[in-house]
Structure 1
Amino acid sequence: MTQPPPPPHQPPPEGGFGPPRDQPPAQPPTPPAGSPPSLDKKPEPQAPAPHASPPPAPAGPPVPPAGPPQPGYGYPQTPPQPQPGYGYPGPPSPYGPPQPGSYGGQPPTVPGHGYPQQAATMPMQSPSAPTGGNRKARNTQLAIIVSAVVAIGLIIGGGVWYSGRDGGGKDTTATGDTGGGTNAKGGADASGGSAGGKEKAPSDPSAKVLFQVPSPAVSKEDSTIVVTGSWLTDKVYAKSGVAEVVGYDPVKGGKLWTLPLAGPVCAASPHTSDDGKAVVVHQPAMPTKAKRSHGCSQVAVIDLDTGKEVWNKSAKAGDRPINFSNVTVSGGTVAAGSTSGGVAWDLAKGTVLWSPKPTDSCYDAGYGGGAKLVAVRKCGSYSARQLHIQTLDATSGKVVSEYKMSKGIEYAGIVSTDPLVVAADVGDSAGDGSGISDFFSIDNKTGELRTRISAPGAEFAARCDTITKIEHCTGLAVGEDRLYIPTEEHEGDGKGYSRTNEVVAFDLASGKQTGQRADAGEGYTIIPLRMDGANVIAYKRPPYDKGGQVVSIDGASFEQTTLLENPATESVRDAETRMSPDYAEFLYSDGRLYMSQVFASSRSGGSGREYLAIAFGTGG
């Protein structure tokens, strides 16, 4: 089906394709991180770069939808009744089964580290023009192409499927230490928290640019390189770069440490341990003209406070290195999944807790971490796949509980591990490439389905990369036994063509909406980032003439408190809106917001016109 082209101001999705959009208007050279910010200076005009798209004509107001907005936005609705094993078999994926090979996260037919360069020549909308249009329409082409590319290229590895447990979940592995896990302070934690919230409103929510990190230099041969991964502790803001991870002072932006890696980053853990350790998967060497990728075989644990590498490991399935597509942390365990099976290590020592076994016909495609460790385990042939959602003992890999999804559901994403919530596109019915048509609320202890929540793509705006990343769901939060998701954008109540949306809540026991609704406000789009105790921390993407906001939504009253509001100057606003929360990484804590890209491109690297990361902070 022909889809509309992606809109201006829309960066490529993580795990997707193409470099960032065309370059923004030139800005003054960016000073080193930690020096006075320059984003508030008005950019100078610049001639188009060679081979770039011609400058776009001034953008007019977006065309309103041909008809009223979808009924029921943000209001209670009656979902389907809970049914054990719900989910209908869908048609086989049009992209075909995973193919053997070790492309290191790259499609087999595309040179370099990137993805097809379809978004590279899209004209950019004038930063002073209103940004509107339906969110679903804006994301459809990107997300569908993402799914195609990822299915072909990001399902890395191949060969025989193994696992550290047999098909029935019997433990066949060694044991190790146990421990409780949590993600980094300010991280996108979807596992909830204690009642109340730690984030307090400052006396003045007006924020300033604390620092910005320029996009790294990338060669034309490399085109686009993955730089996914950002974490925040009390001492450091850490961000992946080109074959490195760098720690910055969280307020001033000065470099505290740099950890070189042997090759580019492929995947990063969304969680950290209690003692501030994060994990990345990276290539074992830098690409060359002769070999554009070396696979994603190396798993490295990093102490974020010191910048030291704790250990670096790889694993094999038979005689072939395993190329991992995702990695997570839960308690004292690091777990990485792939099409060759899953491997787990002791976080502190690096000893193997479980690894692929040649006697198993199922394999762990990936894991969700944080409060608990949950595996998405694939069994059966490609045409008759069945997913087993297994809560594991994080030390031994022993199955604590298991829920078997209906056959024909090929992919699932872990939204939260405690309470356990899984997302899937049942029968490819979402229609918008979001990877979500339904949420499944599962009992961790018994493995029984509590309820199934229908979330049609035409009404709701969260998205998951369910193909390889497993634990990469954005635009939602889970806590206090509720699921918080945004509605799709729709026409606002004011004059003109403004767009807006809401955040609504679903009860994870009944599957019904609670009736609560948090409005974004005229011209804003609101997106949940994480839980803060019983409250929801959300980002409000701004209209064309304002800065973005971070708000706290009270879990009981749904009243909003503004925690931070970014500058509304054109240059700052332009830089901010280049980082969409759908695809970029957002971390908020203690009055500071960190936004970062997941790709570095040769079109912008080192120019100072685009940023790898930007930090905003309030003064009170």
Structure 2
Amino acid sequence: MSFGPPPSMHTQPTQSAPAVDPSRDRRRRRVLGAVAAVVAAVVCLGAGLIWYHSAGQTHGRTGAKAVQQAPDAVRETLEKAPVSPEGEVVVKHNEGGLTGKQQRFAPATWATGKIVARALADRIEAYKTEPHPDSDAKAWTLRLGGHVCAVSRDVTADGRTAVVVEPGHTDSPQAGACDEVVMVDLDTGKKLWQRKTPAGEDASILGTNISLTRGVVAIAWDEGSVAYDMHSSRLLWKTSATSQCHDSAYAGGQALLALVKCGDPGDPTYRVEKLEPRTGRALWRYSVSNGLRSIYLPSADPPVIAVEAGDYRVTDLLTLDPKSGERLATISMNGYDPKCGSDVGAFFDAVDTCYGMVVGRDRVFVMSKDTDDLTRKPENQITAFDLRKGTAVGKFVGRLFQQVVPVRMNGDDLIVFRSTMDDVQPAAVVDWNPRTDKETPYLLFRLPEDEHELGDPEQSDILYEQGQVFFARRLLARDDVHPKNPVLSVIGVGTAGLEH
């Protein structure tokens, strides 16, 4: 069964970034509104202290057990509550050398428990996150010999990831072909291997993506695709756009999905395929209806498709059976904001990324749109939907001036970032069990003043890994008011308590 409205004038698929969301300006205005509502905020803080003393007695998640993963599997770490939720800065890096109207792209951030690393222009740079370090202690820098033009946000269980670069072009992300893939050990900064993709001379930053699944690195661009063995860099399979249909993008993790484009490039049709990673053989196919503006693959296992039906926003989520590819449910996104699409100034393909949603084993968690009531209602909420039925089965509600953002799964629990827009309430990272509705505080902290965009998932990466939370801007630009000052690139917070 296919999905979608009858074809309309809006049938040209695009991965372009939508117009600037007016909700960003609305959130900035709320900072001023918070001053007028400080009394209400104090009441919320009192409630927050009660929440801490009650929920803080729950250490970790009932019945949760860590799963032993193969070294080349995409990492799935299981977090536990720290001894103390009081947070302290473990890393803070300011990026200098920005001149004129130059912008420096930082499309990916990775953390391993030992370091936090960033893809920055033509290099990957890592900073130490050890307890009580120099907050800007650089661990290593890996020069890539070209501008980064595609990234995987996944990390293997043994700390590896991969990027695609434009060899010989370091000054602009549009200078040449994105035709070399680099495998990196994030703990050491060692380049494990580098390969030139076959027939990749037409690959560009506007249509290239890279994904990891167990033992396999898969890259797709407008004119073809290729897969390599993660350990040896051996070519496993490839496709080209000379056929009627070709793989245009991948989503990885615990499985590998392909977004397949067919027919006229000006008016293509699409289908989603689950692939056998080492051969590229399709295990099942799901045909997506015509008339859609854009299609995203926010999860490969379980398979979830996000579609834009006639608008520059995701209108529906489609959930599929992981074994057969049969459609299970359609979930309307009316009133929700999954934040899918291009993430850095319309560059960097983001077919596999939705910053306002997280997919779990049997549930998908989606941010609601922000409220328009500045003084009476919580900023927003996160709704949990059953993947098989498509029905809402739980809600995690924000507070006044405190937006909640889904960060990642923690087993069957959800790790949530609760931002703050005033000087009274602290920001927080909490673990939410949607089955019992219990929340456990992991970290309480404050981000630097006038840096509220760090907590905006549309502008910054938000990661939680092994007891530490990181906020990292994806686009760095000079401050016109203070043009000589370096720009905050990444900040990380860990527990101020003793080690477990």
The bucket for the TM-score relative to the shorter chain is 0.7 to 0.9
Q: Does 1:396 align with 2:299?
A: no
Map Cα deviations across residues 394-433 of structure 1 (whole Å, 9 max, x no partner): 11101111111112225311111111111011232xxxx3
The counterpart of 1:541, out of the listed 419, 423, 433, is 419
Q: Does 1:275 align with 2:158?
A: yes
SS in 2 for 1:490: coil
The structure where strand makes up a greater share of residues is 2
Q: Which runs of 5+ in 2 are unaligned?
A: 36-69
The counterpart of 2:74, out of the listed 163, 182, 187, is 182
Map Cα deviations across residues 197-231 of structure 1 (whole Å, 9 max, x no partner): x433334322122221102423437x213211111
Alignment of 1:293-304 (within 5 A): 293-304=175-186
Alignment of 1:279-318 (within 5 A): 279-287=162-170, 293-317=175-199
Alignment of 1:143-542 (within 5 A): 181-183=73-75, 185=77, 198-220=78-100, 223-251=102-130, 252=133, 253=135, 254-287=137-170, 293-317=175-199, 320-323=201-204, 325-357=208-240, 359-382=242-265, 384-428=267-311, 433-434=312-313, 436-456=314-334, 459-465=335-341, 468-491=349-372, 496=375, 499-514=378-393, 516-542=394-420
Query: Once the 2 structures are TM-superposed, how far is the Cα of residue 341 of structure 1 from its aligned partner?
Result: 2.0
- Distance of 2:309 and 2:413 partners within structure 1: 30
- Distance of 2:241 and 2:26 partners within structure 1: 51
CA gap of 1:612–1:583, structure 2 versus 1, over 3 A, is: same
- Distance of 1:587 and 1:97 partners within structure 2: 30
SS in 1 for 2:457: coil
CA gap of 1:395–1:559, structure 2 versus 1, over 3 A, is: same
CA gap of 1:329–1:302, structure 2 versus 1, over 3 A, is: same
1:130–1:544 contact (8 Å) kept in structure 2:
no
Query: Once the 2 structures are TM-superposed, how far is the Cα of residue 449 of structure 1 from its aligned partner?
Result: 0.8
- Distance of 1:286 and 1:115 partners within structure 2: 28
Query: Once the 2 structures are TM-superposed, how far is the Cα of residue 356 of structure 1 from its aligned partner?
Result: 3.0
SS in 2 for 1:465: coil
Q: Which runs of 5+ in 1 are unaligned?
A: 1-83, 99-104, 108-113, 133-177, 186-197
- Distance of 1:350 and 1:475 partners within structure 2: 34
- Distance of 1:603 and 1:574 partners within structure 2: 12
Partner of 1:553: 432
Q: Over aligned residues, Cα RMSD in angstroms?
A: 3.3
Partner of 2:443: 564
CA gap of 1:509–1:358, structure 2 versus 1, over 3 A, is: closer
- Larger RCO (alpha carbons 8 Å, 6+ apart): 1
SS in 1 for 2:450: helix
- Distance of 2:103 and 2:183 partners within structure 1: 25
SS in 1 for 2:310: helix
Map Cα deviations across residues 270-310 of structure 1 (whole Å, 9 max, x no partner): 11222211111222123569x96223222211111221111
- Distance of 1:590 and 1:287 partners within structure 2: 33
Partner of 1:63: none
- Distance of 2:460 and 2:161 partners within structure 1: 18
Alignment of 1:11-90 (within 5 A): 84-90=1-7
Q: Does 1:601 align with 2:482?
A: no
- Distance of 2:105 and 2:305 partners within structure 1: 26
Q: TM-score scaled by structure 2?
A: 0.81
Query: Once the 2 structures are TM-superposed, how far is the Cα of residue 523 of structure 1 from its aligned partner?
Result: 1.9
The counterpart of 2:32, out of the listed 113, 129, 138, is 129
- Distance of 1:405 and 1:293 partners within structure 2: 34
CA gap of 1:276–1:288, structure 2 versus 1, over 3 A, is: closer
Query: Once the 2 structures are TM-superposed, how far is the Cα of residue 88 of structure 1 from its aligned partner?
Result: 1.9
Map Cα deviations across residues 515-555 of structure 1 (whole Å, 9 max, x no partner): x2111122211111110001000111212223321111113
AA of the residue aligned to 2:97: A
- Distance of 1:539 and 1:207 partners within structure 2: 13
CA gap of 1:86–1:116, structure 2 versus 1, over 3 A, is: closer
Query: Once the 2 structures are TM-superposed, how far is the Cα of residue 586 of structure 1 from its aligned partner?
Result: 0.9
Partner of 1:70: none
CA gap of 1:236–1:179, structure 2 versus 1, over 3 A, is: closer
Partner of 1:69: none
- Distance of 2:26 and 2:310 partners within structure 1: 34
Q: TM-score scaled by structure 1?
A: 0.66
SS in 2 for 1:248: strand
- Distance of 1:127 and 1:614 partners within structure 2: 23
- Distance of 1:582 and 1:369 partners within structure 2: 21
- Distance of 1:127 and 1:212 partners within structure 2: 26
AA of the residue aligned to 2:362: D
Query: Once the 2 structures are TM-superposed, how far is the Cα of residue 509 of structure 1 from its aligned partner?
Result: 0.7
CA gap of 1:394–1:610, structure 2 versus 1, over 3 A, is: same
AA of the residue aligned to 1:512: T
SS in 2 for 1:237: strand
- Distance of 1:606 and 1:333 partners within structure 2: 43
Q: Does 1:611 align with 2:477?
A: no
AA of the residue aligned to 1:543: M
Partner of 1:586: 462
1:130–1:543 contact (8 Å) kept in structure 2:
no
CA gap of 1:371–1:117, structure 2 versus 1, over 3 A, is: closer
- Distance of 1:212 and 1:447 partners within structure 2: 44
